Amino acid sequence: MPSNTVAEAFKRNILIFGESGVGKTCFNDMFVKGKHFALYEPFPASDDTESKLISVNDRLWCLNLLDLNASLFKDEDSTMNAALITQMISNADGIVLLYDVTRQASFDYITWDGYLELARNRKRARDDGELYPCGRQRFGCVLVGNKRDLAAEKRQVAKEAGEDWAASQGMNFFEVASSDRSAIEKVMEALVRSIERAENWDREDIEEEIKKREEQIHIPVREVGTDEIGRRDAGESRMLEEKSVNQRSRVFPKLGEALRKVLRKRPSQGEDTG
């Protein structure tokens, strides 16, 4: 049964990532509020988020949108808070890479240095702590060329360039004008599908990792049981068993929590709508 209440909706964090002036705020506002060309807003504070419900594959998703100005990474005088940026990037379940079809530099940056910044910040979050206990966490991603309405006269980025790069990264590509709400909704639907795929791959990884570690932990117990147990007295073998239980509980809270987090958050494979 499809979810049909806000409480049942799958909540996901979406980051709109692109250089200054590519139209992130307009894109956001058109998707969330259906308003055309909102007022210019500078770099948002961390709580500057917008939510919107969207139905994809008979499920209701609650998308929490945040935008991040990729130009900040180029500005040496930027007062950006590195920890906040890392948090914004690492918390994103899906990312819209946005450029302006009338500005080649905005495409070059987002498909090269900007994209690398995303990878670097995801890595930093992994290395720093327990955010992704199982190694890596994928995110959904789409590439979007904005200001299509200006393309006839001012196009600098060939449509094929966008298509080719997106295909090389295995992501969907769109050209939109941020005045066209239905085009933006199609982008977000594709992003949700991309998030679903990423999450299913993550889930498979985590389950495999748990299985692998479980097998590793079992090996010494079995060896002790067959080869050595006869030579040890009962007290010693009990101690070995206790040691193995402790080992398991040391490993599993972390993995178990990761799996619980994924399962809590994500639709189960069995109920996948395909």
Ligand X SMILES: Nc1nc2c(ncn2[C@@H]2O[C@H](COP(=O)(O)OP(=O)(O)OP(=O)(O)O)[C@@H](O)[C@H]2O)c(=O)[nH]1
Chain contacts with ligand X (rule: CB under 6 A)? 18, 20-26, 37, 40-41, 69, 146-147, 149-150, 177-179
List Cβ neighbours of 18 (8 Å cut-off, separation of 6 or more).
24, 67, 69, 70, 96, 97, 98, 99, 100, 106, 110, 114, 146
Closer of 95 and 134 to Mg ion (Cβ): 95
Q: Closest residue (Cβ) to ligand X? A: 23
Q: Using CB under 5 A as the criterion, which residues of the chain lie in contact with Mg ion when the complex forms?
A: 24-25, 41
- We find the least distance from the C-beta atom of residue 70 to ligand X, in angstroms, to be 8
> What single letter denotes the amino acid at residue 93?
D
Residue in the shown chain whose Cβ atom is closest to Mg ion = 25
Of these partners, Mg ion, ligand X, none, which one is at the site of residue 146 (CB under 5 to 8 Å by kind)?
ligand X
To the nearest whole angstrom, how small is the minimum distance from the Cβ of residue 121 to ligand X?
A: 18
Burial 182-203 (b: 16+ CB within 10 A, else e): ebbbebbbbbbbbbbebbbebb
Q: Which CB, 41 or 128, lies closer to Mg ion?
A: 41
Please name the residues in contact with 134: beta carbons below 8 A apart, sequence gap of 6 or more.
Answer: 202, 205, 206, 209, 255, 258
Residue closer to Mg ion, measured from CB, 51 or 269: 51
Between 24 and 59, name the residue whose CB sits nearer to Mg ion: 24
147 touches, from ligand X, Mg ion, none (C-beta below 5 to 8 Å by class): ligand X
Residues in Cβ contact with 170 at an 8 Å cutoff, skipping those fewer than 6 apart: none
Residue 149 or 209: the one with the smaller Cβ distance to ligand X is 149
Taking the complex as a whole, how short is the minimal distance between the CB of residue 25 and ligand X, in angstroms?
3
How far apart, in Å, are the Cα atoms of 237 and each of 80, 217, 247, 249, 265?
57, 16, 15, 19, 41
> Which partner in ligand X, Mg ion, none is near 149 (CB below 5 to 8 A by kind)?
ligand X
